[in-house]
Amino acid sequence: MEEKIYLSSPHMGGKEEVYVKEAFAANWIAPLGPNVNHFEESLQTYLGEEQYVAALSSGTAALHLALILLGVERGDEVICQSMTFSASANPIVYQGATPVFVDSEEDSWNISPIHLETAIKDRIAKGKKPKAIIAVHLYGMPYKTEEIRALSEKYDIPVIEDSAEALGSSYKGRKCGTFGDISILSFNGNKIITTSGGGALVARNADHRNKAIFLATQARDDAPHYQHSEIGYNYRLSNVCAGIGRGQMEVLDAHVDLRRKMNEFYKQIFAEQQGIGVFSEPSSDFYSNHWLSCITFDKNTGNKNADGLREAFLVDNIESRPLWKPMHLQPIFKTAPFYGDGTSESLFKNGLCLPSGSNLDDKHRERIRSVIAHYFNN
Ligand SMILES: *Cc1c(COP(=O)(O)O)cnc(C)c1O
């Protein structure tokens, strides 16, 4: 069997182990310490001025705290992009609130401003104004930040920016992770950079950041004994893991370049292939990190389809994966309200994510190219 080619696997830059060893040498084997501080500072520097970063144990934890900071409580409604990973929506339910799902638009694959406004108006008409909007930069592609911001202001509903897949992406030169009222990042093993597991809440003010850290460290009141006036969580990032993140930040831009090269590689391969579209930036305003490169099959591909290509890859030990199955089609969310026109469902049926890691080399690309050529020419 050939070596397995993954969709997206961890890619160390070199310094990660040095910082992890520092943690051991200083015995900072705890959910605080110098690596956590350095990692937060490097994220802050990367994202730009007026960004306030709290390093956490996961992107999911960051979303949960974002909802709490925005006052989401039992019985509330929160709007969420339907086409996303389930972790965007699950924390709404942790809070005892109800998700209201909104469909994607064709070009960015992200939350449709048109369906979003329909959803907001209808929920208000039904008697409940949504408490927040969760918008996602899917596969690293920025959502329509200006349109979503305009609706957020028109109806006075805050935006939680799920930038878990989009560190290194930007819109009109402004970095993803800086657009929401609160933003979140993920450093899970398969993401653009990894801490093996981890995430961050990125706030627009120090109050939100400090409150996030307070909640993430068990909500201890200022007292010598353990005293609590609020429910806390154990959501802080380990100083050992933060050492990995420190090293990863040094290679982030280089790794984004390599992912974008993978996307170019697929654009070349499929340029001549009738009926296949490579997911691309809608205009030069968008800059995607191309965390995952994806393709869609249209109706002119005969007996060739996403599932057939996925199985052909599997035979050669190459991983590919259907696009995110929309949340409104998930068994667990089947009673949740949904506003849309079938765009995300059609993307799910006809799309495929392809191996996209920054650590893939020419040998890997040759194997991928040959499976694709063989599949379409037989
Ligand atoms: C990965 C991911 C998350 C969750 O991040 P974790 O660090 O794995 O908890 C949330 N939203 C999206 C869109 C993701 O891809």
Q: Are 274 and 300 in contact (CB under 8 A)?
A: yes
Q: Taking residues 226-249, what's their average pLDDT?
A: 97
- β-bridge mates for residue 136, sequence order: 162
Domain(s) labelled CATH 3.90.1150.10 in the chain stretch across 253-377
Looking at residue 287, what is its pLDDT? 98
What is the pTM assigned to this prediction?
0.98
Q: Taking residues 200-211, what's their average pLDDT?
A: 98
Q: Taking residues 213-221, what's their average pLDDT?
A: 97
Q: Which residues contact 156 (CB under 8 A, 6 or more apart)?
A: none
- The average confidence (pLDDT) of the chain is 97
Looking at residue 280, what is its pLDDT? 97
Strand order in the sheet with 98-102: 52-56, 199-203, 182-186, 159-162, 132-136, 77-81, 98-102, 338-339
Q: Establish whether residue 164 lines the binding site of ligand 1, counting it when its CB lies within 6 angstroms of any ligand atom.
A: yes
Nearest CA to ligand 1 atom 8: 188
Q: Which of 165, 192, 291, 344 to mutate to test the pocket of ligand 1 (most atoms within 8 A of CB)?
A: 165
- How far apart (Å, rounded) are the C-alpha atoms in residues 82 and 60? 16
Q: Tally Cβ neighbours within 10 Å of residue 311.
A: 11
Of the candidates 237, 257, 367, the one whose C-alpha atom is nearest the C-alpha of residue 313 is 367
- How far apart (Å, rounded) are the C-alpha atoms in residues 70 and 181? 9
Looking at residue 265, what is its pLDDT? 98
Spacing, Cα 186 to ligand 1 middle (Å):
6
CATH code matching the domain that covers 16-251, chosen among 3.40.640.10, 3.40.50.300, 3.10.20.340, 1.20.140.10: 3.40.640.10
The ligand 1 atom at the shortest distance from the C-alpha of residue 62 is: 9
pLDDT at residue 182 greater than cutoff 90:
yes
C-alpha angle 17-22-28 in degrees, rounded to nearest 5:
120
Q: Are 128 and 72 in contact (CB under 8 A)?
A: no
Nearest CA to ligand 1 atom 2: 164
Per the structure block, which two tokens stand in for 67?
């909802």
pLDDT at residue 378 greater than cutoff 90:
no
Q: Establish whether residue 165 lines the binding site of ligand 1, counting it when its CB lies within 6 angstroms of any ligand atom.
A: yes
Work out whether the CA dihedral 362, 364, 370, 375 comes out positive or negative. negative
Q: Establish whether residue 167 lines the binding site of ligand 1, counting it when its CB lies within 6 angstroms of any ligand atom.
A: no
Which of 131, 144, 175, 191 is catalytic? The answer is 191
Spacing, Cα 77 to ligand 1 middle (Å):
21
Spacing, Cα 93 to ligand 1 middle (Å):
16
Pairing between β-strand 77-81 and β-strand 98-102 as defined by DSSP bridges: parallel
State CA 186 to chain mean position distance.
7
Q: Which of 137, 141, 162, 237 to mutate to test the pocket of ligand 1 (most atoms within 8 A of CB)?
A: 162
Q: Establish whether residue 5 lines the binding site of ligand 1, counting it when its CB lies within 6 angstroms of any ligand atom.
A: no
Looking at residue 314, what is its pLDDT? 97
DSSP H helical segments within the chain, as ranges?
A: 16-25, 34-47, 59-69, 90-94, 113-125, 145-155, 206-216, 239-249, 252-270, 306-315, 343-350, 362-376
Per the structure block, which two tokens stand in for 10?
């961890």
Per the structure block, which two tokens stand in for 152?
């957020």
Q: Establish whether residue 110 lines the binding site of ligand 1, counting it when its CB lies within 6 angstroms of any ligand atom.
A: no
pLDDT at residue 152 greater than cutoff 90:
yes
Q: Is 334 helix (H, G, I), strand (E, B) or coil?
A: coil
- How far apart (Å, rounded) are the C-alpha atoms in residues 121 and 128? 10
pLDDT at residue 302 greater than cutoff 90:
no
The ligand 1 atom at the shortest distance from the C-alpha of residue 186 is: 7
Q: Are 249 and 37 in contact (CB under 8 A)?
A: no
Q: Taking residues 34-42, what's their average pLDDT?
A: 98
Q: Taking residues 360-378, what's their average pLDDT?
A: 96
Spacing, Cα 56 to ligand 1 middle (Å):
12
Q: Give the CATH H-level superfamily of domain 253-377.
A: Aspartate Aminotransferase, domain 1 (3.90.1150.10)
Looking at residue 275, what is its pLDDT? 93
Instruction: Give CA torsion, residues 340, 341, 345, 347, to 10 deg.
Output: -110
Q: Establish whether residue 88 lines the binding site of ligand 1, counting it when its CB lies within 6 angstroms of any ligand atom.
A: yes
Long-range pairs, 113-121, Cβ under 8 A, ≥24: 113/144, 113/147, 113/148, 113/151, 115/339, 115/340, 115/341, 116/79, 116/148, 116/151, 116/339, 117/151, 118/339, 119/79, 119/337, 119/339, 120/79, 120/151, 120/155, 120/157
Q: Establish whether residue 59 lines the binding site of ligand 1, counting it when its CB lies within 6 angstroms of any ligand atom.
A: yes
Per-residue b/e over 246-285, b at no fewer than 16 CB within 10 Å?
A: bbbbebbeebbebbbebbebbeebbeebeebebbbbeeee
- Exposure of 78 in the CB half-sphere (CA atoms within 13 A): 32
Active site residue 191: yes
Q: Measured between alpha carbons, how far is residue 240 from residues 11, 36, 127, 187, 301 in Å?
A: 17, 8, 48, 14, 49
Looking at residue 301, what is its pLDDT? 86
Domain(s) labelled CATH 3.40.640.10 in the chain stretch across 16-251
Spacing, Cα 60 to ligand 1 middle (Å):
6
pLDDT at residue 15 greater than cutoff 90:
yes
Q: Which of 7, 143, 185, 186 to mutate to test the pocket of ligand 1 (most atoms within 8 A of CB)?
A: 186
- Exposure of 114 in the CB half-sphere (CA atoms within 13 A): 6
Confidence band, pLDDT 50/70/90 cuts, at residue 362: very high
Spacing, Cα 188 to ligand 1 middle (Å):
7
Spacing, Cα 138 to ligand 1 middle (Å):
11
